[in-house]
Structure formats: C-alpha cells, structure tokens
Amino acid sequence: MPVILVVDDEPLQRDILKTILDSEGYETHTAASGKEALSIIENTHPDVILSDLRMEGMDGIELLDAIPRKPFEPSIIIITAHGTISSAVEAVRKGAFDYLTKPLNKDTLLLNVRRAVERATLLRENIHLQKELFGKFNIEGIIGKSANMQRTVEVLKKVSPSSVTVLITGESGTGKELVARAIHYNSPRRTKPFTAINCAAIPDNLFESELFGHEAGAFTGAVSRKEGLFKITNGGTLFLDEIGDLSLPMQSKLLRVLQDKEIRRVGGKEAIKVDVRIITATNKDLEKELGEGHFREDLYYRLKIVSIKLPPLRERLGDVPELATFFVDKYNREFGRRIRGIESRALKLLCGYQWPGNIRQLETVIERAVLMNDKDIITAGDIENDLWALRLKNSFDMDIPDEGIDFENLEKELMKKALAKANGVASKAAKLLGMSYKTFLYRLDKFRLNGHSKKIE
Ligand SMILES: Nc1ncnc2c1ncn2[C@@H]1O[C@H](COP(=O)(O)OP(=O)(O)OP(=O)(O)O)[C@@H](O)[C@H]1O
Ligand SMILES: [Mg+2]
C-alpha cells in the first residue's frame, strides 16, 4: 500500500486531505510542522509527501531541502495559495515533483498523487535493480566494519586497478568468490569476462583442454577444435577456485602460461598470446602443502603477488548484525516478503554463535527464517532450532552456556558414545577420545560404565 505524508499546520486542511486519501486506500500520515514531518519520514519512508508551502517555522521549501533522498526518493507535491505561485515554481526547480494550487480539486489532487506514487515506485525499483547489478560486486558492498575486514577492503581498493595475481585464502564460506568478483568488477577489465572454474571439480585429463582448448582429433572424442577458458576470457579475469587441489602436472602447465603469457591448444603447435588476470582461492594452507611437496613453490610465489586472507566470521562477530540485515533484505526481495528486521534477542543469539560455516551458513539460516516467517519480524524462536541443530552437528565447538555445564556428565556421555562406536572395545574407545588406555579404564570404573564395555582386554 503506498504511503503518503500530509504536512500542513492547519488542522482542518490536514483532516480533509487525510480523509480523501484514506478513502482511496493510501496509508496516510499527517504532520503539523516540517520538524514533525522529518521524524515521520525517517520512520515510514513515504512514497509521496504533500506539503503546504506557507507554514510556521520550517516552510515548504525548507522542508523540501531537508528531506533525505536516501535510501528512497519520495515524490514531493507542494500545495500553494494563488499569491505564492512563484515560490511553488522554485520548489519544482529544486526537485519537487509538482505543485497544486488552493482551493484543491479532489480529482486533480488524486490524479497527481497517483502519478507521484508511480514515479516513486519506479525510482525505488530502479534503485533496487541498479544496486543488484552494480552494487552486488561493488567493493563498498562488501559488508564488514570490523578492523580486519576494513583492512581487506583497503587492499582490494589498491589491487583492483592493476593486473597482479591475487591469492585469496580463508575458510569455506568467508567470501572468497565474492572478493574475486569485486576485484574484477572494480578493475579496468570489468567489461571483459570474469570466468570462475573450480580446480577440484575437473579431472586432470580434462583440465588442460578446458583451460587451453584443443585441436580437432587431439584425443579420442575431440571431434572439432575447442577454445579454452584462457582464450574465452582474454582481456578479463580467470578465477581458479580451490587451487590447492590442482595436481602437480597441471601446476607446471599453469606456471608456464603465467611465465610466457601464451597458450597452446592440446594437440596444437600455434602459440596464442593471452592477456588474462589470474585470481586464485583456496581454503587449504598452501604453505603446508609446499612443505609436503604437494604444491610448487615457484607457482605459489607467482600466484601470491598479493595475498588476501579473509577472516572467519567468528573473528568478526561484530559484523553479524549488518550481514544478517543485508540477508533479510536480499531474501525479502527474493521471496516477496516484507520482514522489517530481526528482534534483538534473535540478534544476540546470532552474535553468540561461532559460525563454523561462516557467512554462507549465516546466510542459509536467515534465508530459512525469512522463508518460514509469517510475522513481520524475525524472532529468537525462528532461529533457535536452526542454531541448536548446527550446534549439535558441531558439538565440539559448542559455547559454554551461561549456566555452565556438567563436565563429568559430558565426559561420561562422550565415553558412552566412544564405546558404542568402538563396539565396546575399550582400547579403541580410548583411542577415539585421545586418552591413554589406563586413564580410560580408571574412568570407566569411576563412572561405573563397565557394563558398556564388552571387552576389556
Ligand atoms: N562481506 C560480505 N558481505 C556480504 N555478503 C557476503 C560477504 N562475504 C560473503 N558473502 C556472501 O556469502 C556467501 C558465501 O560467499 P562465497 O561464495 O564468496 O564464499 P567462499 O569463501 O567462496 O566459500 P567456499 O570456500 O565455500 O567456496 C555468498 O552468498 C556471498 O555473496
Ligand atoms: Mg567459493
């Protein structure tokens, strides 16, 4: 329902307008002064504001200047008496949608209001679309006020304009792909392709032809020539995800391209020049992989000219409210809901969780809460069950609740679980818990769990 605000210091005029607009199905608010209007605007974000020109205190023009145009621009109609038309014209020049002269004619009024609503709705939709298209991968759109995220954003701003390779590391769900896209869409390459490929998902024998292409007849099944991703992405950015899973032979092939800046199709002789920026990501510890001989050192240093380490969400829990609100908006749009926000008790729950699956996990919890919700606010009850299920699944990184825990009982339960898993074999159960056999037997006795162990050998 479109929202309209009537601003007039004459009570009778306010009432008449409200009656007319209410009866047309608008949600109408009224304000007796510019100051009151501004506070109503902040809370209701009206589509249309009908304001008298001459008012005590702040007049219509001053109000027009003070009305915030963000996040949405309302259509403003100025109402004026005959003698002050020149001021009304000035108002239009300053951005008012239209002006109406007193005495008001009901039909003219309604026609103008309808048009003003249409314009405000269009603007609102446009802003959404633009935000979605450009804002999605805008560096400013990467949410995180925490110090470690802000540092990341600073690095992003610096590296985006160049073509240096960037290695992005971070646990699963911390935003590695989002960051890779932000770099591309904020670089001079933004109008050229961004291609993402998951190194872990492509078998070795196909990887080469995927990346470099092949000639007809290069191998069984290569019926015709195929261009590879390097060629297709020429001028743009190639995002190699899960680079830590690339096999050693493929690592050498990639290294050669980085050195020579040219590729050869599988089965082809011709060297093809390519200009592709490489961004890679992994949730593996590449330094460790180097040490174990699973990753080439020379490639590693070529890939991490700049390296960006994304912090896990649990190290920036202060960002949870903003992220959660962002996801409420996102899924409101996706599911056509109008949820206003998240109740403070629910936010507290969200901020108290350790999020082993990071931002992606938070996003899933909010997505479900928005989908299942039939109220206009997300309550603690809506997310409690989800968090409880997640906690159980990750019970070993469980928080200690305020009321504390019964540690002996927990230990006893864990021993029972280990015994069940080890089919009652005490030595195996001890191993599962990282306990010495002697300690395990001692505790078995102490907790009178001997009955749970079939074999004490
Ligand atoms: N800072 C952020 N602000 C807003 N949304 C974010 C942010 N970081 C991540 N997201 C969102 O969280 C989700 C997961 O991010 P992304 O896919 O980039 O993570 P990832 O690190 O690549 O995960 P994985 O290792 O599992 O592939 C995406 O929907 C992404 O848009
Ligand atoms: Mg990813």
Render pLDDT for 153-206 as a digit per residue (tens, 0 to 9): 999 999 999 999 999 999 999 999 999 999 998 898 988 889 999 999 988 888
Q: Is residue 84 part of a domain?
A: yes
Share of the chain above pLDDT 90, in %: 60
DSSP 8-class letter at 189: T
Mean pLDDT of 372-389: 84
Residues 248 and 270 grouped into a single domain: yes
Distance separating alpha carbons of residues 141 and 154, to the nearest angstrom: 13
Distance separating alpha carbons of residues 420 and 426, to the nearest angstrom: 10
pLDDT reading at 135 higher than 60: no
Write down the residue that tokens 């927990």 correspond to: 410
pLDDT reading at 133 higher than 60: no
Q: Is residue 21 part of a domain?
A: yes
* Ligand 1 environment, Cβ below 6 A: 142-144, 170, 172-178, 283, 323, 326, 359-360, 363
In this prediction, residue 290 carries a pLDDT of: 93
DSSP 8-class letter at 448: T
State CA 66 to chain mean position distance. Answer: 32
pLDDT digits (tens, 9 = 90+) for 323-364: 999 999 999 998 989 999 999 989 998 998 889 899 999 999
Residues 173 and 127 grouped into a single domain: no
pLDDT reading at 264 higher than 70: yes
Q: Is residue 142 part of a domain?
A: no
**Alpha carbon distances (Å) from 235 to 191, 230, 423:** 9, 9, 60
Tokens read off for 432: 């599962």
Q: Is residue 29 part of a domain?
A: yes
Nearest Cα to 326, choosing from 73, 141, 170?
141
Beta strands in 354-394 (DSSP E): 377-378
Ligand 1 atom nearest residue 363's Cα: 12
Count the Cβ atoms, other than its own, within 10 Å of residue 155.
16
Count the Cβ atoms, other than its own, within 10 Å of residue 160.
20
Residues 159 and 200 grouped into a single domain: yes
Residue 46 near residue 70, CB atoms below 8 Å: no
Residue type, 300: Y
Q: 141 C-alpha vs ligand 2 centroid, how far in Å?
A: 18
> Which ligand sits nearest to residue 359's alpha carbon?
1
Residues 419 and 351 grouped into a single domain: no
Q: Which of 359, 361, 365, 367 to mutate to test the pocket of ligand 1 (most atoms within 8 A of CB)?
A: 359
Residues 77 and 197 grouped into a single domain: no
Question: Beta 75-80 vs 306-309: how paired, if at all?
Answer: unpaired
Indicate the pLDDT class of residue 129, thresholds 50, 70 and 90.
low
Task: For residue 448, give the CATH number of its domain.
Answer: 1.10.10
Distance separating alpha carbons of residues 63 and 46, to the nearest angstrom: 14
Ligand 1 atom nearest residue 173's Cα: 23
In this prediction, residue 417 carries a pLDDT of: 87
Domain boundary among 133, 167, 200: 133
Task: For residue 328, give the CATH number of its domain.
Answer: 1.10.8.60
Ligand 1 atom nearest residue 149's Cα: 1
pLDDT reading at 285 higher than 60: yes
Comparing 18-27, 66-75, 276-285, 343-352, which segment has the lowest mean pLDDT? Answer: 66-75
- Which residues have a Cβ under 8 Å from the Cβ of 370 and sit 6 or more positions away? 327, 328, 331, 332, 335, 337, 339, 378
Count of domains forming the chain = 4
Write down the residue that tokens 């507290």 correspond to: 348
pLDDT reading at 396 higher than 60: no
> Which ligand sits nearest to residue 181's alpha carbon?
1
pLDDT reading at 389 higher than 80: no
Distance separating alpha carbons of residues 100 and 77, to the nearest angstrom: 7
For ligand 1, atom 29, the nearest C-alpha belongs to 360
Task: For residue 240, give the CATH number of its domain.
Answer: 3.40.50.300
Residues 304 and 374 grouped into a single domain: no
Residues 174 and 218 grouped into a single domain: yes
**Alpha carbon distances (Å) from 271 to 211, 266, 303:** 14, 11, 22
Mean pLDDT of 97-107: 91
Domain boundary among 397, 415, 443: 397
> Which ligand sits nearest to residue 360's alpha carbon?
1
Domain residue limits at 382: 313-397
Distance separating alpha carbons of residues 80 and 85, to the nearest angstrom: 7
- Which residues have a Cβ under 8 Å from the Cβ of 289 and sit 6 or more positions away? 244, 295
Write down the residue that tokens 């996102």 correspond to: 330
Domain boundary among 397, 420, 435: 397
Distance separating alpha carbons of residues 313 and 361, to the nearest angstrom: 10
pLDDT digits (tens, 9 = 90+) for 435-454: 778 888 888 888 888 887 76
Mean pLDDT of 114-119: 94
Mean pLDDT of 274-296: 95
In this prediction, residue 157 carries a pLDDT of: 92
Nearest Cα to 306, choosing from 169, 174, 208, 412?
169
The 3-state DSSP class for residue 338 equals coil
DSSP 8-class letter at 278: E
Q: Is residue 145 part of a domain?
A: no
Question: Beta 377-378 vs 341-342: how paired, if at all?
Answer: parallel
pLDDT reading at 6 higher than 60: yes
Residue 369 near residue 378, CB atoms below 8 Å: yes
pLDDT digits (tens, 9 = 90+) for 206-224: 899 999 999 998 888 888 8
Q: Is residue 233 part of a domain?
A: yes
In this prediction, residue 248 carries a pLDDT of: 95
Distance separating alpha carbons of residues 55 and 60, to the nearest angstrom: 7
Residues 253 and 330 grouped into a single domain: no
> Which ligand sits nearest to residue 358's alpha carbon?
1
Q: 175 C-alpha vs ligand 2 centroid, how far in Å?
A: 7
In this prediction, residue 8 carries a pLDDT of: 95
pLDDT reading at 250 higher than 60: yes
Residues 446 and 392 grouped into a single domain: no
Ligand 1 atom nearest residue 174's Cα: 21
In this prediction, residue 297 carries a pLDDT of: 96
Residue 302 near residue 139, CB atoms below 8 Å: no
In this prediction, residue 126 carries a pLDDT of: 72
Q: Is residue 402 part of a domain?
A: no
Mean pLDDT of 142-151: 90
Residues 180 and 165 grouped into a single domain: yes
Count the Cβ atoms, other than its own, within 10 Å of residue 345.
12
Tokens read off for 113: 């209001």
Residues 60 and 122 grouped into a single domain: yes
Count the Cβ atoms, other than its own, within 10 Å of residue 282.
23
Q: pTM above 0.85?
A: no
Q: Is residue 143 part of a domain?
A: no
Region of 3 on the Ramachandran plot (φ > 0 left; ψ -120 to 50 alpha; else beta): beta
Residues 447 and 382 grouped into a single domain: no
Average pLDDT, the chain: 89
Beta strands in 176-271 (DSSP E): 194-198, 213-214, 226-227, 237-241, 262-263
Q: 369 C-alpha vs ligand 2 centroid, how far in Å?
A: 23
Neighbours of ion ligand 2 (CB under 5 A): 177
